[in-house]
């Protein structure tokens, strides 16, 4: 109970401070956030990673961070910083959900459709469901980390798969934002966007295909045995 009260108090304090000091406004203003990071120089890398972690842990609006990273630092560095920050944030959220505030999260969100679907998806499809939902954001990204903490999945598996599956979208968003900022919208860019969309669709399809293949092999092995 003590852990839960501390966690709730911390969340409320951070959210209050985020609104009080304009962090939420900053996170939702791409131009202002980009200029802020660029003016920080090398310190901007650290601040960007910290913002990504705070957004993930405290469920703040940060859906544009990969785009801002691409605009401020270019496709490669912006994508890399996004992956690092989002991965650390997701892992911290998962640990908090599993070991610190599990009872509170179950009481607060257990009846939410997103939580129930994730629990069912993991139960029926295992890790392939985590891979799918990370590649295709059918559920809010930040909420996923806390929802998966309610399943039997280990911290090591969640952290590794989350980091791996964040790479494609993070680099694609950062790269596209960087291209638009430097070259504007062109036919080449539209073709690249189309190719990126096809790539993400194929990556999202792979977990189901692999899972089906593993199940088939497992069934055949049992028959032979």
Using CA atoms, how far apart are residues 6 and 9, in angstroms rounded to an integer? 5
Report how far apart, in Å, the C-alpha atoms of 183 and of each of 69, 109, 189 are: 17, 44, 9
Residue 90 has what pLDDT?
93
Alpha-carbon torsion angle 91, 4, 137, 83, nearest 10 = -30
Q: Which residues of the chain have pLDDT under 70?
A: 1-30, 61-63, 137-138, 183-225
HSE-CB at 167 with a 13 A cutoff on CA atoms is 7
Using CA atoms, how far apart are residues 180 and 183, in angstroms rounded to an integer? 5
Residue 82 has what pLDDT?
92
Residue 186 has what pLDDT?
59
Residue 13 has what pLDDT?
64
Residue 9 has what pLDDT?
62
Q: Would the pTM of this model clear 0.95, i.e. be above it?
A: no
Phi and psi, residue 64, nearest 5°: -100, 5
């Amino acid at each position: 109970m003590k852990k839960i009260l501390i966690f709730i108090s911390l969340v409320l304090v951070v959210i209050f401070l985020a609104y009080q000091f304009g962090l939420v406004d900053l996170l939702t203003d791409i131009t202002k956030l980009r200029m802020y990071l660029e003016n920080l120089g090398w310190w901007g890398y650290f601040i960007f990673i910290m913002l990504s972690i705070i957004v993930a842990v405290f469920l703040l609006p940060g859906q544009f961070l990969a785009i801002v990273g691409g605009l401020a630092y270019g496709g490669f560095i912006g994508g890399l910083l996004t992956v690092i920050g989002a991965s650390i944030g997701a892992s911290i959220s998962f640990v908090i959900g599993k070991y610190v505030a599990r009872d509170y999260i179950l009481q607060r969100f257990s009846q939410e459709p997103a939580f129930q679907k994730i629990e069912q998806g993991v139960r029926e499809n295992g890790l392939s469901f985590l891979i799918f939902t990370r590649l295709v954001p059918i559920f809010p990204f930040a909420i996923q980390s806390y929802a998966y903490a309610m399943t039997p999945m280990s911290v090591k598996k969640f952290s590794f798969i989350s980091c791996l599956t964040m790479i494609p979208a993070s680099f694609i968003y950062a790269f596209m934002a960087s291209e638009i900022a430097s070259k504007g919208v062109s036919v080449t860019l539209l073709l690249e966007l189309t190719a990126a969309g096809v790539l993400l669709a194929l990556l999202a399809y792979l977990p189901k295909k692999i899972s089906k293949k593993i199940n088939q092999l497992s069934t055949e092995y049992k028959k032979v045995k």
